Structure 1
Amino acid sequence: MSAAKTQTPNRVVATMRRIPATLAMVALILAAGVIGQGLWRPFEDSGMYDVVAYGLPAFADGRWWTPVTGTFFVNQPWVYLFTIAGFAGMAYLEFRRGSLVALAYYWVGQLFAIFATALVLWPLSQLPWAWAETQAQALDVGASGGTMACIAAAVGLFVPPWRVRAWLVLLGFVFIAMIFWGTLADLEHLMAVLLVLFVDRSLRIQRTTVREQRLLAFIAVLVIGATQVVSILVPTDGPFGPTEPVSGGFVDFAIDTVVILLIANGLRRGRRWAWVLGVILGVFNVLTAALIVVGIVVTSEAQVESVIDGETELAIASGILWLLMLGYLIWVRRAFRARRTSTIGGQPAPSVDDVKAMLRADGGGTLSWMTTWDGNSYARTTHGIVAYQRRAGVALALADPLGPAATRAASVDEFVRMAEHAGLVPCFFSADENTRAAVPSTWRSLVVADDTIVDLPGLQFTGKQWNSVRSSLNRAGREEMTFRMTRLADEPWGVRQQLRAISEMWVGDKGLPEMGFTLGTLVEAEAPEVRLALAIAPNGDVDGFLSWLPVFGGDGSIRGWTLDLMRRREGGFGPVMEFLIGSSAKLFSEEGAEIMSLSGAPLAHDYPPDAGMIATLSDKLAEILEPVYGFGSLHRFKQKFHPRYETMYLLYRDESDLTRIGGALTRAFLPDATLRQFAGAGLELARGERD
């Protein structure tokens, strides 16, 4: 405990040592707040304000020192919260790139924002434009120009695709604040962000994927909808003139808001109908704004407002936003071709027989036979087949693509593109290292299990390490237990009924139905390619059984077997599982098989010490699920056979997909579970926690 307590303070101290420039700036601002008393009273009301504040009037009067002095003061006490929080971007930038770089971005951004704003307002104030005239006479203090520049520079350091998303949020914030409120500070923020955008060139929308193009449209439409709601409730005073809350125009904005909510999710999923509605809504708003401008020029603003029953400023601002949105929708129109019934893969779609034929011809991994089970769909690629399930808007690919090993990368790329064009979230579950290497470099991976593989050539249960297995085999001999490798269809009716009774008893103890997806049932064991290992007691009862799935090696050969079902009779032969697995291993080795996979126990991976948060979350989830499914116990049991481990991964685009993938996996593993069964399992989890 003492080590845990000291670790966090040490980490905080180490972080603070890496951001001295940021801490110094914050300290200077707080010190200025004490000197100028701005921490507890409005500084803009003090006599010092005109001396230190910057703006066009200050430059006209020759107060050129104000861009520096005004940086350290804040106009209102409550603004200190936002000012100090704004330095988070500088802290991140300094932590990543050093103090000199952070200070350079801050001061260049701050000074550029101040002088560029004055330079823009100077000619605009000569026009009959009330907003420009007002802002040209205003003064300002604060560090926000520099902090916004640092935030923009920090965004440029984000990894894709978060960089583009963060840029969109930042640009949306500064542009919308400028259009609807347009204070001197808003113009300074815009100038600082545009400077970094131009200098860093870290925003490259043209390189985004189809998924990102849809997500950008989704976010942009929601932002437009939110601004329309806010602007109808909050007073604004932007470049297009002031508005009052609840000032009319409810019909237009209500229609826009309802339609936006309807089409936003459709745009995210790439639906064609949503794109069409978005274009129609954009054209409507742009034409409305254009007609209002024409009406103001021809008649007067008051007459136009009486006709539209609303304020022209909001309609014009909304029209400008929709013009930008309309241009973007037309630019990325190819990203919106998905239909609700979109199919994935080349046609005709593969059948289960096609999958089996490809497995025999090209081989597969230890989980590849599971792709033949009911519930899977198949996407045909140029050289292979990808088995997947369509759940909750996710294309959940099972294991690795089938087909020649040399074409795996191409199959992965085709499947990802086809799933995205169909408006689905692509991911691979229980994929191996080769598939992990084949996905795009920006994808993430999460360990979901360790495949436990026993190499069979030369296998001998000799030596101290095999004591427990050897003892189980010897005890089985003493108690006259019989081992039989068979197939379900070859067994008499009485044996099949015993197997079903054992399975039903096992399921009944769990409170949830048998899991699917990568965990089979007796239905999957009926396939003629699947073998059963039976432990028969002297009285003829089945005390336990295993099912073994074939692992094809190509050219029709079987190079190994994968363990699926493990069931035992309550009160039967104690070490029945050790007996069955050990006997199966001996038989497979004698038959010339290369490997025996004991399959992977979900949430039971042995993480390295530096694995971090993922390991912590996985271990906690495994702990609370242990009373229901015993994944950890199963993993420890398999260690008796001294396997080697091959990691299985969940491969996904980025963290924003994990919530939907989690829901898809829940329905894939438990497609028939009811809410009542989930509640019952929750009580079992609670009892397990208390125990």
Structure 2
Amino acid sequence: MTQDTASSQDTRTTTPGPRPWPRRLLGVVRRIPSTLILVAVILVFGVATQALWTPFAKSPAWDVLAYGLPAFTDGRWWTLVTGSFVSSAPPVYIANLIALWGLVWLEYRRGWRVAMAYFWIGQLFAVLASAMLLWALSFTGSPWAIAQAQLLDVGWSGGAFACMAAAVGLFRSPWRVRAWLALLAFVFVALLFWGAIAELEHMLGVLLILFVDRTLRIQRATVREQRLIAFASMLTLGAIEIIVLLLPTNGLFGPTTPASGSFGDIAIDIIVILLVADGLRRARRWAWVVSIVLASFNVLSGAVVVLAIALLGWNDVGDAINGDPSLSLATSGLWVAMLIYLLWVRHAFRWRRKGTLGLQPIPDLAEARDVLRADGGGTLSWMTTWEGNIYARTSTGLVTYQRRMGVALALADPLGPEEGRAQSVREFITMAEHAGLVPCFFSASEATKAAVPAGWSSLVVADDTIVDLPGLEFTGKRWNSVRTSLNRAGREEMTFRMTRLNDEPWGIQQQLRAISEMWVGDKGLPEMGFTLGTLVEAEDPEVRLALAISPQGDVDGFLSWLPVYGEGGVVRGWTLDLMRRRDGGFGPVMEYLIGMSAVAFRDAGAEIMSLSGAPLAHEYPPNAGMIADLSEKLADALEPVYGFQSLHRFKEKFHPRYETMYLLYRDETDLTRIAAGLTRAFLPNATLRQFASAGLDMVRRPG
């Protein structure tokens, strides 16, 4: 990608923006009529029973309308319906109405019939199954079951949670698995520690959909997803231990009071969790081992408590552990699940910090160049030979990448035979995930986009601007600006020379360095890397330099061109990298240099000339949405510093065709780390002070 600016008028045409939000909201409302009718009926019931502003549990109508085991044994079966339209207290209305988001999503996606079926089947099942389960458990002598079996309840939350579970099943991967696990964790923890009838109904409603829909397929999760689940679960366990220590509970194992647990045990757990959680996310073997030890210790502690209760009694054990045994039993149950999961996904934590990606032997630069010459590559392929890149060997080729901020940034497309590049993409993703890195592909082509796993996301990062050289002639009205610059250069006796940097005399080389240093000094940030070269990369003997020299012998501007290899070691084209001009020199020097380079490459038999891509300058279609808006805002912010949009408009003078280049990534949760990794890849030597100075320049820019 080139890194210079060129002045031209903004020739972009305006495209219609997205529909105004009132129209979009109206479109959503029209697609959820049954949800709106249900909410209306709930509000009417709330007004009729005065439950909207007074606690319904204190109303005389409570025994008539509320459902539960006592109501069913007395023959009040109508309560299955009447109790589903009212809440127990005014604040509960708010929570229960918010819980209907799953119903809204279901109706919006699958229609009112499916949505209502899920809601009412889930609601009726949750209420009836809860009553039957409490009736059966009460015969075991469980104090919790006996107490809950005597109570009544109202509300539609059983159906709402069933709809949530069904809506989660419609999420795209990997959000489906994440949302399912979060929902299951919520209902089980709520039942375990705050086990009212409502919590039991929520759990049964969710389990019904889990059994019927079968959309939770955790066995298909990638190793990266397995580690993310372990990371989130470990932090959740720590948060639960703190919450139940500070708040009263009344779950399956009985009631507890605040500060009734063992402070020492919980403090040890929290400290260890904070130490190992991030290690689990990064696939560190030591973190998995420590987590296994911690989970085993908590499970063993719970087993000792159970044995002690059987031998000594509940109260004596509470005195001995200086806390409530209920808390120990409940948290031990969670640690059992954590231990089982860690053992199940043990293969996801085999990476050691000094491990390398790819098959052995590790490729070097010489091999990468040999592969590139033998099998060819895309317009950015020569950038894979630059310093700072490393190579991962796959069974079918090489993947060039940089390791930054926990991210494996693959550059452009894989190297190697074209028929094996898709396999290289898949193998590299697996390698990176096993290494605890976030894989992504930057400036990738459509072919690489098609090769990533289903469910991956993409962002347009640039449009590659390609000029086809065979038959190119600067004739006709549309080439006026280029032809004018060539004619003016002839009148002013400018000289064009296609050369190599090291073939030029010392004086010319010093002029090139002075021009480049002046350009860098104006930016406030160092020269960018990764896909943006410097004069160091231009020293490569395979890189060509186009010079514009004035009659006085001054270099008024220069370009660097990177080779684009086809199969068999033939250079089929050239890619523009550096664009530099001397202040006060020949005005249209860039048009002149590119035009003369095109003629030289055409006459030498080249097929294409890539003017490379300007980042953040993609022309999005109408109604492209949030991504287009974000890209435009970021481009506007960076324009005073790097001029990407101006550069893109300048290249339009050469009437190129466009090939989209993408950033490919698994999902949105990776974008923050990828952004940090890309920042370091492009500006590896920038200091915090330089970043801050550039940010202030953006904020202070006029307009």
Measured against the shorter chain, the TM-score band is over 0.9
Equivalent positions of 1:140-539 (< 5 A) are 140-539=153-552
Aligned partners of 1:108 and 1:470: how far apart in 2?
74
Whether contact under 8 Å (2:411, 2:442) holds in the other structure is yes
**Take 2:18 and 2:591, find their aligned partners in 1: how far apart are those partners?**
44
Cα offset, 1:5, TM superposition = 11
Partner residue in 2 for 1:587: 600
SS for the counterpart of 1:564 is strand
Deviates further, 581-590 or 437-446: 437-446
Which position in structure 1 is the counterpart of 2:10?
Answer: none
Return the letter of the residue paired with 2:138.
S
Q: Deviations over 1:451-485 (max 9, x none)?
A: 00011111111111111111101101111111111
What is the aligned partner in structure 1 of residue 133 from structure 2?
Answer: 120
**Offset at 1:306?**
2.0
Task: For 2:579, give the aligned amino acid.
Answer: M
Mark the CA change 1:39 to 1:4 in structure 2 (over 3 Å): closer, same or farther: farther
Q: Distance in 2 between matches of 1:623 and 1:384?
A: 39
Task: Report the alpha carbon displacement of residue 226 of structure 1 after superposing the two structures with TM.
Answer: 1.2
Q: How far apart, in 2, do the equivalents of 1:322 and 1:96 lie?
A: 37
SS of the residue corresponding to residue 483 of structure 1 reads strand
Q: The residue matched to 1:364 in structure 2 has which SS?
A: coil
- Partner of 2:53, secondary structure, is coil
Contact kept, 8 Å, 1:451 with 1:647, in 2: the verdict is yes
Deviation digits for residues 140-187 of structure 1, max 9, x if unmatched?
A: 110100100000000011111110000000000000001011111000
Q: Contact conserved, 2:17 with 2:623, CA < 8 A, in 1?
A: no
- Amino acid in structure 2 at the alignment position of 1:285: N
1:677 counterpart SS class: helix
Letter in 2 for 1:92: W
- Deviation by residue 1:374-412 (Cα, 9 ceiling, x = unmatched): 111110111211110000100000000000000011111
Q: Which amino acid aligns with 1:606?
A: E
Paired residue for 1:103? 116
2:606 counterpart of 1:599: no
SS of match in other structure, 2:576: strand
CA distance in 2, matches of 1:7, 1:215: 38
Identity %: 67
Q: Which runs of 5+ in 2 are unaligned?
A: 1-13
- Tell me the number of residue pairs that the alignment of Structure 1 and Structure 2 aligns: 689
The 5 Å alignment of 1:624-643 reads 624-643=637-656
Structure 1 residue corresponding to 2:560, chosen from 547, 552, 555: 547
Q: For residue 49 of structure 2, what is the amino acid of its counterpart?
A: G
Give the counterpart of 1:40 among 53, 66, 74.
53
2:18–2:625 contact (8 Å) kept in structure 1: no
Query: Post-superposition shift, 1:588?
Result: 0.4
Rounded to whole Å, the distance in 2 between the matches of 1:382 and 1:146 is 51
Quote the Cα distance in structure 1 between the aligned partners of 2:163 and 2:479.
Answer: 62
Answer yes or no: is the 8 Å Cα contact 1:472–1:579 preserved in 2: yes
Structure 1 counterpart of 2:644, one-letter code: F
Question: What displacement does 1:207 show?
Answer: 1.2
What is the RMSD computed on CA atoms of the aligned residues?
1.3
1:646-680 alpha-carbon deviations (Å, 9 max, x no partner) = 11011111111111111111111111111111111
Tell me how far apart the structure 1 counterparts of residues 21 and 359 of structure 2 sit (CA, whole Å): 54
Partners of 2:525 and 2:399 lie apart in 1 by: 29
1:7 deviates by: 3.0
Q: Which residue in 1 is equivalent to 2:9?
A: none
Contact 2:395 2:424 in 1 (8 A): yes
Does the 8 Å CA contact 1:172/1:223 hold for their aligned counterparts?
no
Cα deviations by residue, 1:586-635 (Å, 9 ceiling, x for unpaired): 00001001110000000001111132221111111111111110000000
Shift of 1:128: 2.4
Q: CA deviation at 1:6?
A: 7.6
1:529, CA displacement in angstroms? 0.6
1: CA distance between counterparts of 2:281 and 2:617? 35
CA distance in 2, matches of 1:248, 1:105: 40
Q: Is the 8 A contact 1:506 1:567 kept in 2?
A: yes
Look up the SS of the partner of 2:662 in the other structure.
Answer: strand
Q: CA deviation at 1:585?
A: 0.5
Paired with 2:397 and 2:482, the residues of 1 have a C-alpha distance of 41
| Structure 1 residues without counterparts, runs of 5 or longer | none
